[in-house]
Amino acid sequence: MSRPASEVNFDAIVGPTHHYGGLASGNLASAANRRRVSNPKAAALEGLAKMRQVWGMGVGQAVLPPMPRPDVGALRRLGFSGSDAKVLETARRRAPDLLAAVSSASSMWAANAATVSPSGDTEDGKVHFTPANLSSQFHRSIETVDTSRVLRRIFADERYFVHHDPLPAGMRFGDEGAANHTRLWERADRAGLEIFFWGREEAGEQERSGEGERGRFAARQTLAASMAVARLHGLKARRTLFVRQSRRAIDAGAFHTDVVAVGHRDFLLCHELAFADGLAAIEEIRVAYARAYWGGEVRVRTVRQRELSLAEAVRSYLFNSQIVTAADGEMWMIVPAECVESAAAWRIVQGLADDGTIGGYLVQNVRQSMRNGGGPACLRLRVMLTEAERSATLPGVFYSERLHDRLVAWVERNYRDRLSWNDLADPKLMEESYRAVDELTGILGMGAVFDFQKNRVPRGHRQAQVPEGAKLAK
């Protein structure tokens, strides 16, 4: 029996310690903006504005909280000691890159939070979640424990949801979550075709370009990880496909597949150099879709290198546009403002609207995120839910006009509009960040989900006890 389902976009709210650390290898935007002064308040408000736009189109929208940063516990595990203030200051002097890493607001890119398979695809008929281990990047790998906790709190009903632990850390099982995964489907009430994109087959494999030279950047997603997630989720072989990422695209700065390809419903928009096997891989996707849907046809728009170079694709983040189905059934693209500034990318967007592939497009300013290498699609995790599954999800995280107003006021109250590298060692920033996260989990009805919230003050007081040295202001 079919169960009507719809996609809900779970966007992560940008955290109070948003800064430009240049931490991610292969992320050209992150490297180019290293140590620039950031604006956490503007970043959070940009993200909320995007959520409101999506929600206003009649698309499912919900929020995920940022993680408490800086993660002083991580610094202590690396040998720093003393009060929290001393730990932060010592790290600033002796290991500023480590301080930047444990202060990263990178959980804002929820596309990396997990891989999600809807109940229509899985053997047991439940929604499956596997948090990404993000083992290739230290600053992201420390997110996984809290990501698991947040997802388990939001999707707690065991009748509908199954949560797996992150895959074992290490080179063999490097997993970057939904940024290297997409799902195509013919109808929302039917099983879909899940496509896993990977760049490295074995641990320690020599990564070489087509010319036989070693690759410029390491591939982050492994085939072993993708196959493990598919097994954990109980996916059927005829509706699961594994496609290799192109070394040329990775070296151009496409550190995740969602920088060069995006899929939604029966539509795939991709660069001709996105995949290792080029146009043959696109044909493989066509064949797999037809096999899954008894002759059904996937619509593919292949963008040629002569139309839009890989370098321009990475600069404009065209393929990191967020494609959604509006309440009227039409597909819309939420494109980053940088696409307007690229004549080639803009021609493609307008062409998709002119030929009726999409119903229209919205230009969204998420420049604070873009300067760290994350566009509109990076900021959300897609979860397909039936009506019953949605009813079983924590209600406080779903978007509404009232929640939007509360979140804007919360950002205005708690966020700075200027943050430099030296500010990361400021104990007051830690105090502000932890207090903000504590208040937010209350707004969302999540309760105490993070470690620092475990030992709470008596009822009637909203403040939580935070790590030593991060005293909450009155």
Describe the crossing of helices 427-443 and 401-414 by its angle, rounded to 10 degrees.
Answer: 170
CB 324 within 8 A of CB 59: yes
Residues 195 and 144 sit within 8 Å (Cβ to Cβ): no
Helix (H) or strand (E) holding 336: strand 331-336
- Give the whole-angstrom CA distance, residue 147 versus residue 273: 32
d(CA 275, CA 303) in angstroms, rounded, equals 12
Question: What is the largest distance, in Å, between two alpha-carbon atoms of the chain?
Answer: 66
Residue carrying structure tokens 């980053």 = 336
Please pick, among 176, 207, 338, 389, the residue that the annotation labels catalytic: 176
Catalytic residue among 7, 128, 186, 378: 378
Tell me which of 18, 139, 256, 404 is the catalytic residue. 256
Element (H, E) at 288: helix 279-292
Token code pair at residue 211: 């010319």
Contact 419, 69 (CB under 8 A): no
378 given a catalytic annotation: yes
Closest CA to 309 of 375, 260, 369, 376: 260
Locate the DSSP E strands across 86-156. Answer: 114-117, 127-131
* Whether residue 468 lies in the annotated active site: no
The answer to whether 290 and 241 have CB atoms below 8 angstroms apart is no
CB 12 within 8 A of CB 109: yes
Within 13 Å and on the Cβ side, how many CA atoms surround 269? 24
The rounded Cα 152 to chain-centroid distance in angstroms is 17
Could you tell me the two tokens for 73?
């516990």
Annotated active-site residue 176? The verdict is yes
Report the relative pairing of strands 161-163 and 127-131 from DSSP bridges.
parallel
Question: What is the distance between the alpha carbons of residues 149 and 168, in angstroms, rounded to a whole number?
Answer: 17
* Residue pointed to by tokens 């008596």: 458
- List residues with catalytic annotation: 176, 256, 378
